[in-house]
Amino acid sequence: MKKLLVFVGESGSGKTTLIAELVKRCPDKFKKVITCTSRLPRIGEMNKVDYHFLSAEYFINNPDLVLVKYVTNDACYGTRRADIRLDTHHLLLTSKPTGIQKLVELGFRNIIVVNIAISEVLKVMRMRQRGDSEKVIFERLKIDALTLAITDFGEVPVVDLNANQSLDEKIEIVLGAC
C-alpha cells in the first residue's frame, strides 16, 4: 500500500532537499507532490517542477485546494486534491503540523509524518544561504514559533529526524519507514 509521507519541520530544516534526494535516488518508489504558491519563484525554481506558480486569486475559495495557507509576506500556498490521490508511488509532501489533522479529516489513512528538528542558528544560516531576505527570515521565525507548539499528530506514525543528520542517514531512516 502506498504511503503519503508528510514532511514537517521549521523553515530551513531540509524538507525540500530530502524530498528531492529521495525522488532522485528512488524515482520508481517516490514522487513529490507539486504544491501551489502565489509567491515569485526563487532563483533556480521552475514552474510545475518546484511549485505551480499561480496568481493569488487562484487561492480564493477554490474547492480543489486543500491545506491552503496564507502567510504574512502575501504569499499563498496550497495542495490540489488530485495531486495527493496518486497510487503509483509513495507521495512526498511538505506541510505545517496543522495540515496532518486536515489530511486525516479528508480520509487519508496511510500517512507517515517525517518530522525534522533544527536549531535556530542552523535555520537562520540556511535561510540566508538560500537567499531569503532578513524580513522574510524574521517573519518565518515568528510563524515557526507559533507552529512549534503543535507536535501532537494523534495516531499518525511519526519518523523523527534532525537537520544535523547526514542526508544518507535521513534517507536510510525514511526508506525503513516505508
Distance CA(7)–CA(29), nearest Å, equals 16
Which three three-digit cell numbers place residue 26?
Answer: 528512488
Q: Domain residues of the chain, as ranges?
A: 4-33+87-177
Closest CA to 15 of 59, 54, 50: 50
**Residue 150's pLDDT is what?**
64
Output the CATH code of domain 4-33+87-177: 3.40.50.300
User: With left for phi above 0 and alpha for psi between -120 and 50, is residue 64 left, alpha or beta?
Assistant: alpha
- DSSP string of 56-121? GGGGTT-TTEEEEEE-TTS-EEEEEGGGG---SSEEEEE--THHHHHHHHTT--SEEEEEEE--HH
Residues in Cβ contact with 13 at an 8 Å cutoff, skipping those fewer than 6 apart = 116, 117, 118, 123, 163
Give 105's pLDDT tier (boundaries 50, 70, 90). confident
Q: For 10-26, what is each residue's pLDDT tens digit?
A: 888 899 899 999 999 99
**Residue 6's pLDDT is what?**
95
**Residue 117's pLDDT is what?**
87
Which three three-digit cell numbers place residue 2?
Answer: 502506498
